[in-house]
A and B are shown apart, each in its own frame.
Chain A
Amino acid sequence: MPSLSWRRGNHDMQRCLPSLVVMLLAAGCTGSIHKAGTDAGNDADGSAAGAGAGTATTTGGVVLDPVTGEPIADTSGGSAGPNGTTSPTGGTSAGTTGGTPGEPGSDPTVPATPLADCDTPGPRLIRRLTAAQYANTLEQLLGEGFPTEEVLSDPAVMGFHVDADAALVSDLTAELLMNYAERAAAWAIENQLWKISSCNSHDQACHEQVIRQFGRRAFRQDPTSEQMQTYLQLFAAEPSFEAGLHVVVSTMLQSPYLLYRRELGEPDPESAGEYRLTPYEVASQLSYLITDSPPDDQLLDAAAQGRLSTREDIDQVALGLLSKEEAKLGLGKFVQGWLEVDDLPKKAKDPSIYDLSASMRQAMLDETSQFFLQLFQTGGSIGELYAADFTMLNQPLADFYGLGGVSGDAFTRVSLDGRRATGILGHAAFLTEHALPDNSSPVQRGVTVRERLLCQDLPPVPEDLDTNLADPDGFATNRERYAEHSANVVCAQCHRSIDPVGFAFEEYDAFGRIRAEEGGSPVDASGELSNVVGGPIPLDGLGSLNDYLATSDEARSCLIRYWSYYAYGRDEWQEHECNHDAIRAEAAEGGYTLQNTLMAIIHAQHFTRRVAD
């Protein structure tokens, strides 16, 4: 199961010597990492206290025993995953299913019944737009060129910034929104009046027209009669049409109906305790997932006409969105977050070794995003993320790699022909981000493989571990520097799962450049991938690691899990494993192509159905 975004054992220690060693108990190792988010998100009464702090609990998937290093069996009674591993159901901050009759938010005609079958979606929720989604929404509403400002913060959770619980409007955010909305509305009235209003008379007829048309786009559904009244009053209170329009637009730009995507639905008369999301809500889900932008007029029309009710309808809309230029936004954002490379623009690198410019960093990120997109659009599979013998390069990046043959700044498909490792692990973005400023890092690369590609939780660094370091100048190669990890009993408990994987990357330096020698000796990229099905797998260079990952069910399952979290904003709820099992099954039927995987996430129960929150 995906683990929390921060790395516990990710230390490039050259030597660790136990002094006052306080050994973490096995249960404590895997639990303590998630304690902060877990406890906050699992109030005993499911009360509001956990709101906003409830990060996804991540105690599923393969958990490594910190003492033996072996996968430990889950005894909490969770469902079995595809590899035969068990995963706990985990608590959630969702409270009980079904709601309590009489309590706000529950339908009194729907009994509060725990659902007997396993095929259960998660709870209804509202989900604040991310900063980028808010900007894209305003661009659609106001047109290009509108003033942009940082008004929303996107908390980091599980390596992404899309968490449904953590993103709030709190503290000074409402004031930031108010200030900004007023400025943006004023700009729009002065520069794009035609886009926000098709009339300009200060009378009720025009007011209604504006509220209906602009409000539909802003709220992603038709304004209710109550909203019509509210905004008509706002309009009428002003001395001029422009002043009234400014107040109305400013308010709509801060409205909870704009800021929060609603995944609430309406009670399903055929299924007690369940809610079916409305076509408008499904339209929003699809649009923001794929394009990071709101549904356009055409999609809103489809929703209004009920043309998002069947699976075929949804597929048609999804495929339409995927064909748009904006699809690269949603897909690119996912892959950069999944691989934790989105921070590359700020990563400290040693300029005395290579002066990595801002444009080159962006090119590296674009390579990975474009590769993912290309694979997606050409029916590529999850396995080909590791095995595909091509990449996407522009001239600067091709020259950086020493490959040549590409001209211009546009990205084009280039066959690798064995000149570099295949897939995402051979990308400079991955290799540069997960490295030291001046050298490769077997630890960072090994941890990332474990946590982000295989969804294996690693124990935290034990407390009171004396990590005093040996002199790095005493070692000729990275392997020698890190050999202390395996030589020391305390360090080895974690690092024997990490370093041997990271050594497979040693042919690539701190910037992803190929090196044949280090410290006067040929690079030794041998290693081992332990604690996997069919393992331990001997490794010798990235090719061997790629070979395993390309056919690994764990790797497929892990990607699916992260992509599901990215789509849903939540990772766990009661019976969530069933939803995930269904996704895996459908993705498998579709050959685990990236497109079929995304469609499986969209087809899963949770995408269109919910239970009470």
Chain B
Amino acid sequence: MRKCNRRDFIAAAGLGVLFAPYVRLITPSQAQTELGPAKYLFIFFTAGTEPAVWSPRGSTASSLSHSVMTEPLAPLNQNLVLVERLDSMGTAGSHGGTGGLTGANFSGKPLISVDQYVSDQLRSAGVKTQIPNLILGGVSSEQQTTFFRDNRAITPIFSPSAAHAAIFSGGGGGTVFPGDSSEPAEEARLRRRRSMLDALNGEIAELSQTLGAHERAKLEAHTESLRQMEERLAQQEEQAQNPDQMPVECTSPADPGVGSEALLNAVLHMDLAINAFACDLTRVAAVQFGHHQNTQVNLAEVGAPGDWHNGFIHSDNPRTRLVNLERWLAQQFVAAANKLKETPAPDGNGTLFDQTLMIWARDMGDAVSHNGTDMRFVLSGGAGGYLRTGGSYIDGGGQAHSKVLFNVLEAMGISDPSGLGDENTNREPLGDIRA
């Protein structure tokens, strides 16, 4: 039986606007395995930009001199590493390039993005959160080209309302029926779900037998999705059987709804992701702001409505709206960092910010010229002490951008990096990023 205690968590966390007035108690991950310095990975993903305007000229390895685009990041200076002039080595740069988070093109090795790789490796190492990872945001009308596993482009959850349901409704109360009085409602719900899962798995197995390999793969993805739910159910069952175990307190937010503005939906997704961290429901979350090909933007902070790529990047002269949008994005990145700072870590050790590696990644370097020879990252978060502090600018000097993806693995304590990228991928992390 799950217990719920009201706590003044909302005020302490400063997150009142979004939150429902009840607190959920969550069983922690089955193994609080500390693999690396950073425990949580937050990926903030956007399209490419205009390097000449973005570049924080005058910055050095030990001091930052922000550009008009990066200036809103200044509040994070003490925990900020800006890296640019990295080369995607032909994996990114044009529309649809796959290398941004994978460091690779399609090849003989199944394409996988760093978020999925980290998620898989954490699970292999025994870190079993209720949700393996969250991929949120994006633009529903566009073909997905950012997040991959097994060569398959992953479709983000576009709607914040749907994301909320996926993240926080797993423990919703069951329906009570006549005759149920002999069985506690929560136990009945879990038992019924277990029965339904058995039936569904049986049907999938039966249908799979009639299919060839290609079609069977669709049901294998379905089976995996059911298995994830099954694992989550197992954790919920354990909680029901161990009601005295209350190590983690978190707040389930109210349903944020869904709007028509993709970028504002992404902000809602960001809040959901941080809440998911706060409840230790996952350790990996990526929020995609817009899409490289087509993002309709109607934000007062940006200016007249238009399309991010065709309008702001290719039609404007001067590119005022691009500057405004980049500044707005930087403000959202800082807002995410602030929320992480305000949120206690589930294990009681400091704040989420202390334990999170934040990384702002892009799928293109120079979006004006469509090339991947000048890729850039923004890194922040305490990351358990992994990141160098004091404010740092790193000129990548043409090194492979994939190296930073391996910094991510290093920070998260992933000991086997061999499965990320292909035979051409440079797997040596950038030393300058480390503390």
Contacts and interface: CB of A to CB of B under 8 A. Distances in A.
Nearest to B150: A49
B8 interface: no
Contacts of B304: 350, 352, 437-438
B93 interface: yes
Interface in B137-184: 140-145, 148, 150-159, 161-162, 165-167, 169-170, 172, 174-175, 177-180, 182-183
Contacts of A69: none
Interface stretch (A251-259, A281-289, A575-583): A251-259
B105 interface: yes
A574 to B, nearest CB: 13
Contact of A47 (B175, B213, B224): B213
Given A105-B211, A151-B162, A176-B165, A36 B315 contact: no
Interface stretch (A135-143, A302-310, A461-469, A531-539): A461-469
A105 B216 contact: yes
A280 interface: no
A125 B210 CA distance: 10
B34 interface: no
B219 A469 contact: no
- Looking at A250, A255, A343, A346, the one whose CB has the most chain B CB atoms below 10 A away is A346
B234 to A, nearest CB: 13
Interface in A215-246: 224, 226-227, 230-231, 234, 237-240, 242-243, 246
A418 interface: no
A124 interface: yes
A174 B204 CA distance: 13
A348 B177 contact: no
A174 B306 contact: no
A104 B203 contact: no
Interface stretch (A178-186, A377-385, A399-407, A592-600): A178-186
Given A39-B106, A348-B305, A460-B95, A103 B212 contact: yes
Contacts of A26: none
A318 to B, nearest CB: 26
A33 interface: yes
A352 B218 CA distance: 48
B111 A40 contact: yes
A312 interface: no
A6 B131 contact: no
Nearest to A153: B155
Contacts of A40: 106, 111, 151-153
Contacts of B371: 463-464
A174 B316 CA distance: 44
A126 B166 contact: no
Given A176-B162, A460-B95, A469 B200 contact: no
A150 B368 CA distance: 35
A7 interface: yes
Contacts of A468: 317, 368
B47 to A, nearest CB: 13
Chain B contact patch, size range: 35 or more
B265 to A, nearest CB: 11
A473 to B, nearest CB: 9
A319 interface: no
Nearest to A6: B293
Interface string B84-97: 00000000011110
A244 to B, nearest CB: 9
B203 A257 contact: yes
Interface stretch (A92-100, A322-330, A389-397, A551-559): A92-100
Contacts of A257: 203, 207
A40 B207 CA distance: 24
Interface string A400-442: 0000000000000000000000000000000000001110000
- Looking at B93, B106, B368, the one whose CB has the most chain A CB atoms below 10 A away is B106
A46 B213 contact: yes
B212 A613 contact: yes
A55 B143 contact: yes
Interface stretch (A77-85, A163-171, A449-457): A163-171
Contact of B370 (A6, A53, A165, A463): A463
B208 interface: yes
B306 A32 contact: no
B143 A149 contact: no
B311 A46 contact: no
A234 B141 CA distance: 40
B73 interface: no
- Looking at B94, B140, B151, B170, the one whose CB has the most chain A CB atoms below 10 A away is B151
B200 A256 contact: yes
A12 B215 contact: no
Interface string B110-123: 11000000000000
B306 A348 contact: yes
B98 interface: yes
Interface in B309-326: 310-311, 314-317
Contacts, number: 331
A190 to B, nearest CB: 9
B180 A168 contact: no
B66 interface: no
A456 B221 CA distance: 34
B132 to A, nearest CB: 8
B221 A52 contact: yes
Main secondary structure of the interface of A (DSSP, over half): loop
Chain A contact patch, size range: 35 or more
Contacts of B154: 170-171
A48 B216 contact: yes
Interface in A52-89: 52-55
A173 B305 contact: no
Given A175-B166, A186-B175, A256 B203 contact: yes
A251 B200 contact: yes
Nearest to A39: B106
B203 A128 contact: no
Nearest to A158: B143
A247 B311 contact: no
A156 B140 contact: yes
A254 B213 CA distance: 23
A99 B210 CA distance: 12
Contact of B142 (A6, A11, A350): A6
B315 A347 contact: no
Contacts of A512: none
B180 A243 contact: yes
Given A174-B229, A239-B182, A436-B311, A149 B165 contact: yes
A256 B226 CA distance: 12
B288 to A, nearest CB: 13
Contacts of B315: 11-14, 436, 469, 472
Contact of A123 (B132, B178, B214): B214
A239 B177 contact: yes
A35 interface: yes
B209 interface: yes
A471 interface: yes
B24 to A, nearest CB: 15
Given A243-B178, A348-B307, A464-B371, A48 B214 contact: yes
A246 B159 CA distance: 27
Given A243-B180, A346-B296, A168 B222 contact: yes
B37 to A, nearest CB: 27
B294 interface: yes
Contacts of A49: 110, 150-151, 217
B20 interface: no
Nearest to B174: A182
Closest 3 CB pairs of A and B: A48-B217, A51-B217, A239-B179
28 contacts: A35-B96, A48-B217, A51-B218, A52-B153, A53-B153, A93-B214, A95-B212, A95-B213, A105-B213, A150-B258, A153-B155, A153-B158, A169-B225, A171-B135, A178-B229, A239-B177, A240-B179, A240-B180, A251-B196, A255-B200, A255-B203, A348-B305, A436-B310, A437-B306, A444-B310, A464-B371, A468-B368, A613-B214
Given A5-B143, A126-B218, A166-B153, 7 more contacts: A46-B214, A48-B220, A53-B153, A105-B213, A105-B215, A105-B216, A182-B174
